[in-house]
A and B are shown apart, each in its own frame.
Chain A
Amino acid sequence: MRDAIIGPRAASVSANEPTNLPGVLHAAWLIARKDLAIEFRTRTAFFSSIVFALLGLTIFYFAWDPTAVAAVDIAPGVLWVIFTFSGLLGLQRSFGVEQADGAMDALLAAPVDREAIYLGKALANVLFVAGVQAIALPALALFYSVPLGGVWLPLAGIALLAAVGIVAVGTLFSAMAVNTRLAELLLPMLSLPFFLPIVTAAAQTTARLVAGRPAAEAWPWLRILLGFDLVFVVACAVAFPYTLDE
């Protein structure tokens, strides 16, 4: 079964692809590549997410009294709220693109494991969110005069950990929300409570990094982030097949 995971159309995509990857991961990679190809050719969600993030950063700047609080103090919180909301824009689309022409049914008919569909979608979403972050982070440094010079590498690590957590839960809920009557409303409503530990941990760690505090202060927060990623990547991958029709 595992060797037959590649359908006729996918076969042409994967012609020059190394096939030594384990079946599930390989299938997941193909699905992620399909989603990224769609996104790359249309660029609608990615572009609007970036504009949304930049707009959000700008509007937040004018939403508090700059003589009372320094921009650099409010920056980590603003950053993580904006990341979360712009991430939701991308997640909304993740299963939305499969709605047209019964594409989801075709995907389910393909002889791949259900977990591979989830992992592929999640992988594409992580790359999507990371792409938005890669542009929003320098923008934050510019707009809020945050000195990111010395800490950009650990900050990128935290951003990636947070993106994995957001996407793990968000991908699953996106798959559920598209089939409901309240699709656009339901995804944030279900996801945001799950994002609280991520946003808190990431914002607290970012604040300590930017303030030049010792790394030991950030460690308890980092542990929450790591634990969340581990638990919810596994739990959501296991739960995903249950959200599909038998």
Chain B
Amino acid sequence: MTDRTDRTRMDWWLVAAVLAVVAAYARVIWFTPAEATQGLAQKIYYLHLPAALNAYIAFAVVAVTSVVYLWLKDPRADRLAESSAEVGLLFTTVVLTTGPIWGKPVWGTWWTWDARLTLTLFLWFIYAGYLVLRGAVTEPGMRARYSAVLGILGALLIPFIHMSVYLFRTLHPMPIVLKPDRPSLPPEMLQTLMLSFAAFFFTYVVLTRARFGLAVQRAELAMREGSSDGER
């Protein structure tokens, strides 16, 4: 296990992740053609979409590890759920920040109650609530069980929010990469997008790993202090 000096040591995986994102963005800015009608504003797409996809991945991981926790009662599953939720919330924040910045020049408005915007906002609410719940329960076993229940119910809620917000009209562009037939993005843009997605996925894994390490250290600290109030 890790000892105290580890905390001050550089996390080289994190450095690699930052470099990967920088490299992907260098390609976005200098080596990818600008979009015909949106011009430079479309460059944010390579940040917006990968962040959104990785947020979905992160929350799927929360749901799966929550089920695993309730089934096997393995504290590692709980720590992974906690870490993934926190990183997923970070990515959702990125999506909610880049969306309006892109929306203003292209749609002419910072915010609109479009279906996918609303869904993303509610994802943020659900997992912000998840993290607040974790912070509000001191006993580790109870915290793990409560948050696993919320992690699963939150995943069940997403399709219902999706359906109800879609009954309102939607402004958002329809998917052009993840659709049944071939992607309609030009090959240069698609390659850049894939690269950017890979860089972000790598960042997700690295951040979750770092957060997992922190969760392990916190649990150890609580164990050493040997009391329930030592937690956090």
**A residues adjacent to B (C-beta < 8 A):** 169, 172, 176, 179-182, 186, 189-190, 192-194, 196-197, 200-201, 204, 220-221, 224, 227-228, 231-232, 235-236, 239, 242-243, 245
Contacts and interface: CB of A to CB of B under 8 A. Distances in A.
A193 B154 CA distance: 9
B145 A242 contact: yes
Interface of B: 70, 122, 125-126, 129, 132-133, 136-138, 142, 145-146, 148-150, 152-154, 156-157, 160-161, 163-165, 167
A197 B156 contact: no
B146 A232 contact: no
Nearest to B136: A180
A180 B132 CA distance: 10
A190 B164 CA distance: 19
B142 A204 contact: no
Given A179-B137, A186-B132, A242-B149, A194 B157 contact: yes
B153 A194 contact: yes
Contacts of A245: 142
Contacts of A220: 167
Contact of B156 (A189, A221, A235): A235
B129 A193 contact: yes
Given A192-B125, A193-B129, A196-B164, 11 more contacts: A172-B149, A176-B149, A186-B132, A193-B122, A197-B164, A201-B164, A224-B167, A228-B160, A239-B149, A242-B70, A242-B145
The 5 closest A-B pairs by CB, nearest first: A180-B136, A197-B160, A197-B164, A182-B136, A200-B164
A99 B150 CA distance: 22
A203 B161 CA distance: 15
B149 A189 contact: no
A217 B96 CA distance: 32
A231 B132 CA distance: 25
A216 to B, nearest CB: 14
A178 to B, nearest CB: 11
Contacts, number: 80
A243 B66 CA distance: 13
Nearest to A204: B167
A176 B146 contact: yes
Nearest to B124: A193
Contacts of B154: 193
28 contacts: A169-B153, A179-B142, A180-B136, A180-B137, A181-B138, A186-B133, A189-B129, A192-B125, A193-B125, A193-B157, A193-B161, A194-B153, A196-B164, A197-B160, A197-B161, A200-B165, A200-B167, A220-B167, A224-B160, A224-B164, A227-B163, A228-B160, A231-B160, A232-B156, A239-B149, A239-B152, A242-B149, A245-B142
A176 B122 CA distance: 21
A62 B160 CA distance: 33
B88 to A, nearest CB: 15
Nearest to A165: B160
Contacts of B122: 193, 196
Nearest to B122: A193
A176 B152 CA distance: 15
Contacts of A169: 153
Contacts of B164: 196-197, 200-201, 221, 224
Contacts of B138: 181
Contact of A239 (B132, B153, B163): B153
A190 B134 CA distance: 12
B141 to A, nearest CB: 8
A216 B150 CA distance: 34
Given A186-B133, A189-B132, A190-B129, A224 B156 contact: no
Nearest to B149: A239
Which one of B136, B138, B160 has the highest number of Cβ atoms from chain A below 10 Å of its Cβ? B160
A182 B143 CA distance: 13
Contacts of B165: 200
A88 to B, nearest CB: 14
A90 B4 CA distance: 48
B149 to A, nearest CB: 5
Given A193-B125, A239-B149, A243-B146, A182 B157 contact: no
Contacts of B160: 197, 224, 227-228, 231
